[in-house]
Amino acid sequence: MLPPLVAPGAPLTAAQRHRYARHLLIPDIGDAGQRRLLAARVLVMGAGGLGSPALLYLAAAGVGHLTIVDDDVVDLTNLQRQVIHDSAAVGTPKVASAAARVRALNLDVEVTERPQRLTRDNALHLLRGHDLVLDGTDNFPTRYVVNDACAELGIPLVWASVYRTQAQVSVFWKNPPTDAVGVDLRDLFPVPPDPATVPSCGDAGVLGALTGQVGSMMATEAIKLICGVGEPLLGRVAFLDVLGGRQFEIPLHPRTEDFPEDDPEDAYCQLPDIPSVSARALAAELASPTPPVVIDVREPAEVALVAIPGTLHVPLADFLAGPPAFDPDADVVVCCKGGTRAERAAAALTASGHRRVRTLTGGVLAWIDDVDPDLPRY
């Protein structure tokens, strides 16, 4: 058991004793634990699928100060899982929508809105002064930045990741108190994984109810750390497989081999420069007597939702296993949903000897926006 992260704050008011009565009845939390929660300062990275339930339960629990960091706006597709937002919030900043919901839920909670992207340049400034950080982001470059800033500042980090119907949850703390062994994200992932193996939920899909389950687990880990109760997932990674109805954990130990801690964004930018074409320009080329070959590397379920007419469909995994064989001098445009997977496929095609390879700037979403807005977005 770790010592409490936060000292108890001011005595509870009569209204607070009433509001948090169910916490006060738990011997491990009680009056002192609730006062610790009210005195805590917690930063939540991302007001999306994981941040939404985590924020709601932290606010309901009476965590006294919540900082929300997110530079995105609410999209209709978010509402399948991001339960802190509603239909009226579509098109508005996620930070503003989430903050309004938190304030409506609990007036005891002070909220700081940070509608900006976390980078190496601002991470220490944004995270400093908080007792705890929850990372609900969905990309490894940002996860490494959050992890490294927490390690430098000595702040514990509750981390989770969701892929379709599976999830991982853990607690990272590089230099914990007492004799606990410190670990962080780099012990679990010493080097960034291949981007092709970790698609975002927008590319791979995600079971909405699973994000609620995992976000609630993150809030629970935060409460345990703040109050100094139970056994936090420090040094352990919990794995959830909801379709199989299974949950298990593996131990996480400090890495014994030194790996270069380069800028994770650089590690994701080692692909060759591939020319690109805008959606409008591609539409004009497709209407010409000599149209290019357009290859869509999205998954079959994505193509079933929406596709550019006349494209050749080859899922990225199949593409990387062996790019399709055709004239190496053919004019080829590779597309995906937004562009990341297309860059990967185009690099592989170029490496195999094809000389006229481009990507579609902004992917299928740009085609919908600029060429055929009647097509469905996802």
DSSP string computed for 187-198 = HH-SSPPPGGGS
Q: What is the pLDDT of residue 322?
A: 84
Tokens at 363, concatenated: 């992917």
337 and 260 together in one domain: no
Q: Which of 240, 267, 294 is the last residue of a domain?
A: 267
Q: What is the pLDDT of residue 261?
A: 56
CB 307 within 8 A of CB 364: yes
209 and 346 together in one domain: no
155 and 280 together in one domain: no
124 and 217 together in one domain: yes
294 and 324 together in one domain: yes
Range of the domain at 85: 14-267
47 and 194 together in one domain: yes
Please, what sign has the CA dihedral across residues 308, 313, 317, 321? negative
> What confidence tier does 268 reach under pLDDT thresholds 50, 70, 90?
very low
- Name which of 204, 217, 207, 203 is nearest 168 in CA terms: 217
Residue with tokens 């006060």: 24
On the question of pLDDT at 329 being above 60, the answer is: yes
On the question of pLDDT at 371 being above 90, the answer is: yes
> What confidence tier does 46 reach under pLDDT thresholds 50, 70, 90?
very high
Across the chain, mean pLDDT equals 92
Is position 218 within any domain? Answer: yes
Give the number of C-alpha atoms closer than 13 A to the C-alpha of residue 63, restricted to the C-beta side.
31
pTM greater than 0.85 (yes/no) = no
Q: Which of 235, 267, 299 is the last residue of a domain?
A: 267
Tokens at 135, concatenated: 């990372």
Is position 52 within any domain? Answer: yes
Is position 24 within any domain? Answer: yes
Neighbour order of strands in the sheet with 293-296: 276-277, 357-360, 332-335, 293-296, 312-313
Question: In angstroms, what CA-CA distances link 246 with 81, 157, 163, 240, 259?
Answer: 21, 25, 15, 6, 33
CB 40 within 8 A of CB 131: yes
Segment 265-285 shows an average pLDDT of 77
Question: In angstroms, what CA-CA distances link 317 with 90, 300, 320?
Answer: 33, 12, 5
What is the b/e burial string over 188-205, where b = at least 16 CB atoms within 10 angstroms of the residue's CB? Answer: bbeebeebbebbebbbeb
Tokens at 7, concatenated: 């000292």
CA distance from start to end of the chain: 44
Q: Which of 224, 248, 267 is the last residue of a domain?
A: 267
Q: What is the pLDDT of residue 197?
A: 66
Query: What pLDDT, in 10s, does the model give residues 111-162?
Result: 999 999 999 999 999 999 999 999 999 889 999 999 999 999 999 999 999 9
42 and 188 together in one domain: yes
Is position 35 within any domain? Answer: yes
Give the Cα-Cα-Cα angle 171, 159, 227 (nearest 5 degrees).
50
| Non-local CB neighbours of 315 within 8 Å, separated by 6+ positions | 297, 298, 299, 300
How many percent of the chain have pLDDT more than 70?
94
Is position 5 within any domain? Answer: no
On the question of pLDDT at 369 being above 50, the answer is: yes
On the question of pLDDT at 178 being above 70, the answer is: yes
Instruction: Report the distance separating Cα 369 and Cα 78, nearest Å.
Output: 18
Could you tell me the CATH number of the domain that includes residue 312?
A: 3.40.250.10
144 and 290 together in one domain: no
Number of domains comprising the chain: 2
Is position 378 within any domain? Answer: no
**Residue 273 carries which DSSP code?**
P
What backbone torsions phi and psi does residue 41 show, to the nearest 5 degrees? Answer: -120, 115
180 and 78 together in one domain: yes
> What confidence tier does 323 reach under pLDDT thresholds 50, 70, 90?
confident
118 and 237 together in one domain: yes
258 and 309 together in one domain: no
> What confidence tier does 267 reach under pLDDT thresholds 50, 70, 90?
very low
Is position 6 within any domain? Answer: no
Query: What pLDDT, in 10s, does the model give residues 5-23?
Result: 999 999 999 999 999 999 9
Could you tell me the CATH number of the domain that includes residue 117?
A: 3.40.50.720
Instruction: Report the distance separating Cα 229 and Cα 1, nearest Å.
Output: 7
Is position 4 within any domain? Answer: no
> What confidence tier does 68 reach under pLDDT thresholds 50, 70, 90?
very high
Instruction: Report the distance separating Cα 339 and Cα 345, nearest Å.
Output: 10
| Non-local CB neighbours of 97 within 8 Å, separated by 6+ positions | 47, 74, 84, 85, 86, 89
170 and 207 together in one domain: yes
> What confidence tier does 2 reach under pLDDT thresholds 50, 70, 90?
very high
How many CB atoms neighbour CB 294 within 10 A?
24
On the question of pLDDT at 173 being above 80, the answer is: yes
Q: Three-state SS across 200-255?
A: CHHHHCECHHHHHHHHHHHHHHHHHHHHCCCCCCECEEEEEECCCCEEEEEECCCC
Residues assigned a catalytic role = 201, 336
On the question of pLDDT at 102 being above 90, the answer is: yes
Q: What is the pLDDT of residue 291?
A: 96
Q: What is the pLDDT of residue 378?
A: 86
